[in-house]
Amino acid sequence: MLLLSFAGTNNLVLSEQFRINSRDLATASRMIARLEAEPGFPDAKKLAVVGRWREYPLHFLTTGKGDLNISGFGQWWSRANLIREVSGYRLAEPGPEDVVRAETYCHGAQPWPDPSSITVLDDIAVICLTSDPPTS
């Protein structure tokens, strides 16, 4: 009985992670489409994703606890990589000065999915997930 219970729980965790990954894929695709529509995008060489979120507004997960079954947009190391993986664009990491510029822009912009949440600053593609980015 214990083994059957573990298998059921494991399947729930797996299926919910698949659902969150599907939403991340759809969201990243929408972000990329908006970036591509920006006039300066052909000149973009770097990508700055400012802020984060751990979950979507519709709280459909029952296994989303701690760092289990959270969005790829919730971790600093996966946000830009998720966009790169989905898009296929080779956009480099921004330098420290670029990060400050992107954070300054996002501080005055509305968070995703507002139209102002996506922009290109010279050669930096910027995506604002939150209007007040965390410092870590």
- Has residue 68 been placed in a domain? yes
Closest among 76, 78, 80, 16 to 48, alpha carbons compared: 80
- Has residue 136 been placed in a domain? no
Read off the pLDDT of residues 60-100 as tens digits, 9 standing for 90 and up. 666 555 556 778 888 888 999 999 999 999 999 999 999 99
- Has residue 135 been placed in a domain? no
- Has residue 63 been placed in a domain? yes
- Can you read off the two tokens belonging to residue 18? 């698949």
Total domain count, the chain: 1
pLDDT band of residue 8 (cuts 50, 70, 90) is low
- Has residue 133 been placed in a domain? no
More confident site: 6 or 37: 37
In this prediction, residue 64 carries a pLDDT of: 55
Residues contacting 121, CB < 8 A, separation 6+: 40, 101, 102, 105
More confident site: 71 or 55: 71
pLDDT band of residue 134 (cuts 50, 70, 90) is very low
- Has residue 94 been placed in a domain? yes
- Has residue 16 been placed in a domain? yes
| Residues spanned by the domain of 75 | 2-128
- Has residue 10 been placed in a domain? yes
